[in-house]
Amino acid sequence: MHVHRFERLWLVAALAMIVLFIGTVTYGAVGAGYGMVDDTGGQVDPTDATASENFREPGVYNGSEPGHYDVYIEAKQFLFVPGTSDPVRVPANSTVTFHVTSTDVVHGFEVVGTNINTMAVPGQVATITVEFDDPGQYGLVCNEYCGSGHHTMEGSLEVVP
Ligand code: CUA
């Protein structure tokens, strides 16, 4: 049977696109997309995060070395603890590791004007380590839609001299 040259060309092109689309979806599900959920800080019981080894009572703690701090942040509808009613306070010239989890739905944790930005997923702890050299004030916002109060979910971070 004779297949026209252009018909064959289009058949090959269409098949290649199908393979490409399936590949993209698969890659998103098990490849780079899978890594978008940051559980570098391990897993916790979402109903009682502070009872787990990987999480502590929300707050600022001295780290393992001088000048290092660990900040445990609980995100929940519609606040950051600490952050919303009390600012997160860390000293300037410090290295800070944030440990962020959620105790209800998926939230975001972004320090405005920096590249600190992660999802806060129930049952998982995201960790981010950053250096703060200069004193300053930053806003915290939730950038994952989390319910009717999402737009009010914010807080502040103070880097104090
Ligand atoms: Cu929390 Cu949006």
The sign of the torsion formed by the CA atoms of 66, 64, 69, 119 equals positive
Domain-located, residue 53: yes
Which CATH number goes with the domain that contains 151? 2.60.40.420
ipTM for this model: 0.98
Question: Given this model, what pLDDT does residue 50 score?
Answer: 80
Q: How many domains does the chain have?
A: 2
* 54 and 86 assigned to the same domain: yes
Distance 146 CA to ligand 1 centre (A): 4
> Rounded CA gap, 102 and 9, in Å?
52
Distance 154 CA to ligand 1 centre (A): 8
* 95 and 128 assigned to the same domain: yes
* 17 and 58 assigned to the same domain: no
Question: Given this model, what pLDDT does residue 111 score?
Answer: 94
Domain-located, residue 114: yes
Give the closest residue (by CA) to ligand 1 atom 1.
Answer: 107
* 82 and 149 assigned to the same domain: yes
* 57 and 123 assigned to the same domain: yes
Q: Which atom of ligand 1 is nearest to the CA of 120?
A: 1
37-69 residue pLDDT tens:
567 778 888 788 887 888 899 999 999 899 999
Q: Taking CB atoms and a 6 Å cutoff, what residues make up the pocket around ligand 1? A: 78, 107, 142, 144-146, 150, 153
Domain-located, residue 42: no
* 32 and 54 assigned to the same domain: no
3-16 residue pLDDT tens:
888 999 999 999 99
Question: Given this model, what pLDDT does residue 46 score?
Answer: 79
* 99 and 22 assigned to the same domain: no
Question: Given this model, what pLDDT does residue 31 score?
Answer: 62
* 13 and 69 assigned to the same domain: no
Domain span at residue 117?
Answer: 49-160
Under 8 Å between Cβ of 53 and 81: no
* 104 and 70 assigned to the same domain: yes
Distance 25 CA to ligand 1 centre (A): 27
Q: Give the model's confidence band at 139: pLDDT under 50 very low, under 70 low, under 90 confident, else very high.
A: very high
Q: Determine the distance from the C-alpha atom of residue 44 to the mean position of all C-alpha atoms in its chain, rounded to a whole number.
A: 15
Residue with the larger pLDDT of the pair 33 and 17: 17
CB atoms inside a 10 Å sphere around CB 30: 10
